[in-house]
Amino acid sequence: MSRVPSRKPCALICGSVAYDTILIFPDRFKAHILPEKLHILNVAFLVPEMRREFGGCAANIAYGLMLLGDRGVPMATAGHDFGAYAARLRGFGIELDHITEVKDAFTAQAYITTDLDDNQITAFHPGAMQFAHRNTVAAAGPDVVLGVVAPDGRQAMIEHAAQFAAAGIPLLFDPGQGLPMFGREELDTFIAQARWVAVNDYEWGLMQQKTGWSVSDVLARVEALIITRGSQGSQIHTRERCYEIPCAAAQRVVDPTGCGDAYRAGLIHGLLHGLPWESTGRIASLMGALKIESRGPQNHHFTRAEFERRYEQTFGQPAPGIQS
């Protein structure tokens, strides 16, 4: 039976909705951690600056897609403390139909300490996220043309990837900080179900360690492997070639939190609109730069004209595919 969208096609983003508590350490972790004492690590960091932000990868990616004029629908679980966050997302026009509230749990909470080198140490309480497998892809209806499995509850990531595959919905597998939960056999299953895989350079190293795979091994299973590398830009590996995507320079570096999710939003935008990989990567790179210029994962703003202007200033060519 064919899938006939009844509304604007959307990306269904399975992942977390979370509150992020951001702690700023005005020094460098490396100055206070002794490598030879890592086996008895006992450190404390004085963090005079603290703030609470709205985060979670599903909501962050949906926010980025909203800025680009796309329909990103988060599928997640939240707790009894979700009210203020829900009102905020509704205010942006982000759909909450597939965010399930678990009344006897807290919304997931991340405590993120950032140092002067933008290194981060994170403690994460999953809370309601542990029940994310209660959501099902089928419940999202016929408008879904692209699926995303981002960091979420372990069982939810497994089940949602399988549900996307069973429904024939192209899948971006973005394991992120959920990667340590899975072994080689599970990763092999995820990759077999996915069309694209996105990781950062650390996660790619961990995936290689767990599986022994090379880039070509992954590309035997998927159409593209995207590896972000921070200030060194990103690489989009396809079976035809590797696209070297330059890092878009931020006008000021304020906060790296959520940069990867902003990049994913740009990546998904390109996939939704069938853009060439080079253009897709550059949109994603600029999205990351624009996010870094603001505190928290969801406080950056721009108009279509502003984005197009920055794109042309950064890459020396007109911006493609930005939809109203």
Per-residue pLDDT tens digits for 22-35: 899 999 999 998 88
Instruction: Quote the distance between the C-alpha of residue 80 and its chain's center.
Output: 24
Task: Specify the CATH number for 10-30+49-315; select among 1.10.3720.10, 3.40.50.720, 3.40.1190.20, 1.10.443.10.
Answer: 3.40.1190.20
Identify the pLDDT of residue 3: 41
pTM, rounded to two decimals: 0.90
CA 254, distance to chain mean position in Å, is: 19
Rounded CA separation 11/195 (Å): 14
pLDDT value, residue 1: 32
Task: Answer yes or no: are the C-beta atoms of 188 and 162 closer than 8 Å.
Answer: no
Rounded distance between C-alpha atoms, residue 245 and residue 197, angstroms: 16
Q: Please report how the helices 259-272 and 57-67 are oriented relative to each other, as an axis angle in degrees rounded to 10.
A: 50
- The C-alpha atoms of residue 38 and residue 36 are separated, in whole angstroms, by 6
Residues of the chain scoring pLDDT < 70: 1-6, 321-324
Closest residue by Cα to residue 200 from 124, 262, 116: 262
The DSSP output letter for 320 is: P
User: Which two tokens mark 23?
Assistant: 């702690």
Identify any residues that bridge with 12 across adjacent strands, giving them in sequence order. Answer: 73, 147
pLDDT at 321: 61
The distance from CA 114 to its chain's CA centroid, rounded to whole angstroms, is: 18
Residue pair 273/29 in contact by the 8 Å Cβ criterion? no
